[in-house]
């Protein structure tokens, strides 16, 4: 009986260990930003879920433009950033 409980606890513990695809633990190269039009080429099809259209209609798509606002420029100046749209921070 004790052995059965021990095996069950062991199996439950193994089931809780996250399974990660190969390579995720390795150092990933730094991400870079590309023009949205390049993304559109592959992410507009119905097979991809029309991802580009969904993204372009979202507030997230307009976030870069927000950095050009006067309010963003004032905040950037306080933080020592000359141009919030060009800064890497």
Place of tokens 């590309």: 34
Give per-residue pLDDT as tens, 56-69: 999 988 888 899 99
Single out the residue of 56, 58, 89 nearest to residue 72, CA to CA.
Answer: 89
CB 87 within 8 A of CB 81: yes
Structure tokens at 21: 């695809």
Q: Scanning the structure block, which residue is given the tokens 């507030």?
A: 59
Of 42, 58, 60, which is closest to residue 50 (Cα–Cα)? Answer: 42
pTM: predicted TM-score of the whole model, two decimal places: 0.44
pLDDT tens track for 10-44: 555 555 555 555 555 566 666 666 778 888 888 88
């Amino acid at each position: 009986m004790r052995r059965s409980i021990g095996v069950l606890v062991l199996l439950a513990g193994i089931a809780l260990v996250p399974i990660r695809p190969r390579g995720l633990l390795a150092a990933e190269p730094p991400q870079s930003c590309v023009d949205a039009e390049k993304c559109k080429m592959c992410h507009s099809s119905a097979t991809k879920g029309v991802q580009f259209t969904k993204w372009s209609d979202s507030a997230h798509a307009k976030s870069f433009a927000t950095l050009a606002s006067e309010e963003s420029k004032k905040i950037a100046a306080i933080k020592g950033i000359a141009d919030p749209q060009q800064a890497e921070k």
